[in-house]
């Protein structure tokens, strides 16, 4: 049970992120969760969109090279230690977290996890009663 993360490289200059996000907005694509980080003279934007196919089309139209990657959207127990309960499960299964970021507009706390062993992580989390999202996250 995974969702599509979109990964796109950006020029690391003022206004570039606004330009990309603005074009997604103009095309009715909502960003549900995102992570941005520098990489030398470029930046990397990783995000979950309300419509992954439309997001890729917009990015391609802007001349951006975008790709998708299957990631996990896990509901984090909403109590002290809830985040660590998810992290400990992955650690005990020897699963490395590559990227991690929270959702923006969901009613419950959802964590996007890009890990090195996605299928194994899904099994571990589900077998420990962690609620995972599939394409229904695009409609939240």
Q: What pLDDT sits at residue 117? A: 98
**Residue span of the structural domain in which 39 resides:** 3-69
Separation of alpha carbons 72 and 32, rounded Å: 13
Q: What is the dihedral sign for C-alpha 105, 139, 90, 36?
A: negative
Tokens 């062993």 identify what position?
117
* Separation of CA 57 from chain center: 18
- Counting the structural domains of the chain, the total is 2
CATH number for the domain that contains residue 39: 3.30.2130.10
Closest CA to 134 of 81, 74, 91: 74
Q: Please state whether the predicted TM-score (pTM) of the whole model is above 0.85.
A: yes
Residues of the chain with pLDDT under 70: none
Instruction: Choose among 128, 80, 81, 74: nearest CA to 97.
Output: 74
Instruction: Summarize pLDDT for 22-62 with one digit per residue, the tens.
Output: 999 999 999 999 999 987 778 999 999 999 999 999 999 99
Q: Which of 69, 92, 116 is the endpoint of a domain? A: 69
* pLDDT reported for residue 40: 76
């Amino acid at each position: 049970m995974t969702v599509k993360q979109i990964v796109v490289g950006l020029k690391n200059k003022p206004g570039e992120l606004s330009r990309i996000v603005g074009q997604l907005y103009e095309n009715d694509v909502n960003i549900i969760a995102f992570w941005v980080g520098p990489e030398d003279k470029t930046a990397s934007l990783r995000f979950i969109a309300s419509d992954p196919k439309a997001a890729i089309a917009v990015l391609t139209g802007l001349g951006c090279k975008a790709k998708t990657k299957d990631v996990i959207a896990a509901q984090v127990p909403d109590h002290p230690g809830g985040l660590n309960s998810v992290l400990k499960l992955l650690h005990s299964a020897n699963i490395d977290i590559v990227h991690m970021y929270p959702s923006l507009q969901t009613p419950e706390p959802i964590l996007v996890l890009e890990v090195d062993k996605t299928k194994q992580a899904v099994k571990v989390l589900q077998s420990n009663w962690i609620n995972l999202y599939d394409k229904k996250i695009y409609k939240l």
